[in-house]
Amino acid sequence: MTTIEINFDGLIGPIHNYAGLSPGNIASASNAGAISQPRAAALQGLAKMKRLIDRGLVQGFIPPPRRPAIAALRAAGFSGGDRDVLAAAAQDDPVLFNNACSASAMWAANAATVIAAADSGDGRVHLVTANLATMLHRSFEAPDSFAMLRTIFRDERCFAVHPALPGTQHFSDEGAANHMRLAPSHGARGLNIFVHGTARGSRFPERQARRAGEAVARLAGAQGLHMLQSQAAIEAGAFHNDVVAVANEHVLLAHAHAFADREALIGAALRAVPGFVAIEIDSIGLDEAISSYLFNSQLITLPEGGMALVLPGEAQAAPRVWAAVEAILEADNPINEAIVVDVRESMRNGGGPACLRLRVPVNAAARAAIDPRFLLDARRWDALCGLVERHWPERIDAADLADPALWDAVGAAHDALDILLARI
């Protein structure tokens, strides 16, 4: 039974904005206070999904949770009707309020870690919801993501969806952004690599604790290799491993300085994965890798064979980076195509093509068990585009977040999304 990988992209929510909420994420910090374009952002994301559908890939989506995150504000003691809660939080604790207004669930690579059925202890696909405990705004996602993943992957014969690990720094977990799977094929047994940061004093917060990767592996019944990110990569702004490395089936594409101990990683992969191919790039610096998001490409297997890199336009615009891409395409390796996408609105918050998607490997039975509303065909894709065009705000100035008119507009967009999901 053939196993394929389905990419579930986060549909970018109607409140997408630039509030500079992620220290260590250079794009987020440098665009703080800029004017965002939620409608264009969501349409960019949908256009990326369509590019893959048109190439014959199965594509899913994950709806955005309702924002502002009123439940998080209530948990912090704000009470009354929803509008009272929002008004009081905006007034009394604008920092908390802004954190509750983030559309950050769009970066579905952080929603959960996915362990393939071939690697898990019980033959099911395991999804361990990420607690995103390091960043306040992102920590609000975990309960919503857990509920949504349970809806999409509700069939317990094929899927096990786990709640988030305890939300403390000891277990800080950023999901699939710090996990790579190397295997001869999507269906074969693979090597799970969990990449963590260091608690030993970087100027940036450690976002992924080793203990979290260990817990995820245990929960899913999987074996794992736990690798430390290089200090240089963290200092250059690699707040997640997936901005300096990407793996697909038997291919690893990584910056030469992504890991503290590359020899250990390459050695383990050579031993565990027949046909393993390592493509390590040192012709560009870590800073160029991070500003262009070359390694935040999706590396996908094409239905006709071979692999493609789905790159952000920023990688094509940087001459040295693009030269590196051309060299990859020309060299003797499975990657033979570059698909360039425009996800600029997401990029300005530090989220490239790979951040926007959660990859889920499924065999035919598991694929059939997915709630079909979340798998895109032409009709559903058109419906989502129409919804976004009608209801997503054209622009948001960070100063507008406290404006009740914006809460109404965003609430109406979520209501329309709920109606669409009930009949899609």
| Among 230, 281, 231, residue whose Cα is nearest residue 258 | 230
Does 229 contact ligand SUG by CB under 6 A?
no
Which stretch, 58-66, 245-253, 348-356, 359-367, contacts ligand SUG (CB under 6 A)? 348-356
Nearer to ligand SUG, 27 or 252 (CB): 27
Of residues 238 through 267, those in contact with ligand SUG by CB under 6 A are: 239-240, 242-243
- Kindly tell me which of 4 and 354 has the beta carbon lying closer to ligand SUG: 354
Q: 71-83: buried (b, 16+ CB within 10 Å) or exposed (e) per residue?
A: ebbeeeebeeeee
**Shortest Cβ 239–ligand SUG spacing (Å):** 6
Can you tell me the distance from the alpha carbon of 273 to that of 249, in angstroms, rounded to the nearest whole number?
Answer: 9
Smallest separation (angstroms) from ligand SUG to the CB of 104: 4
Nearer to ligand SUG, 359 or 414 (CB): 359
| Residues 291 and 320 sit within 8 Å (Cβ to Cβ) | no
Q: Point out the catalytic residue in the list 249, 257, 345, 355.
A: 355
* Residue 361 half-sphere exposure toward CB, CA atoms < 13 A: 29
**Burial class (CB within 10 angstroms; exposed 0-12, middle 13-18, buried 19+) of 203:** exposed
| Cβ proximity to ligand SUG, 342 vs 371, nearer residue | 342
Quote the CA–CA distance of 141 and 139 in Å, as a whole number. Answer: 5
C-beta of 110 vs 192, nearer to ligand SUG: 110
Burial class of residue 53 in the structure, from the number of CB atoms within 10 Å of its CB (0-12 exposed, 13-18 middle, 19+ buried): middle
Q: CB-wise, 176 or 183, nearer to ligand SUG? A: 176
Of 21 and 321, the one with the shorter C-beta distance to ligand SUG is 21
C-alpha torsion 409→424→37→175, nearest 10: 110
Going by C-alpha positions, the residue among 396, 362, 364 that lies closest to residue 124 is 362
Q: Which residue from 349, 367, 393, 409 is in contact with ligand SUG, where contact means CB under 6 A?
A: 349
The yes or no reply on residue 28 touching ligand SUG (CB under 6 A) is: yes
Distance, in Å, from the CA atom of 245 to the CA atom of 257, rounded to the nearest integer, reads 10
Using CB under 6 A, which of 3, 7, 22, 297 touches ligand SUG?
A: 22
Q: Are strands 307-312 and 335-341 parallel, antiparallel or unpaired?
A: parallel
Where in 126-185 is the site for ligand SUG (CB under 6 A)? Answer: 135, 138, 177
The residue among 48 and 380 lying less far from ligand SUG, judged by its C-beta, is: 48
- Our finding on whether 340 is near ligand SUG (CB under 6 A) is no
101 is catalytic: no
Q: How far apart are CA 45 and CA 43, in angstroms?
A: 5
User: Helix 38-54 and helix 378-391: axis angle, to 10°?
Assistant: 170
Shortest reach from residue 138's CB to ligand SUG, in Å: 5
Choose the binding region for ligand SUG from 13-21, 156-164, 193-201, 331-339 (rule: CB under 6 A): 13-21
Window of 158-166, 301-309, 326-334, 344-352 that interacts with ligand SUG by CB under 6 A:
344-352
- Residue 2 has phi, psi (to 5 degrees) of -70, 135
Q: What angle do CA 61, 367, 160 make, to 5 degrees?
A: 85
Query: From the CB of 332, what's the least distance to ligand SUG, in Å?
Result: 29
Give the contact letters, 39-58, x = binds to ligand SUG (CB under 6 A), - = no.
--------------------
Does 20 sit near ligand SUG (CB under 6 A)? yes
Write the Ramachandran bin of 93: left for phi over 0, alpha for psi from -120 to 50, otherwise beta. beta
Site string for ligand SUG, 78-117 (x = CB under 6 A): ------------------------x-x--x-xx-------
Residue 240 annotated as catalytic: yes
- Buried b or exposed e, range 265-301, using 16+ CB within 10 angstroms: bbebbeebbeebbbbebeebebebbbbbbbbbbbbbb
**Rounded CA Rg of the chain:** 20
Q: How far is the CB of 341 from ligand SUG (least distance, A)?
A: 15
Catalytic, out of 240, 255, 257, 414: 240
- Interacting residues toward ligand SUG by CB under 6 A: 18-22, 25, 28, 102, 104, 107, 109-110, 135, 138, 177, 239-240, 242-243, 349-351, 355
Q: Which residues are catalytic?
A: 174, 240, 355
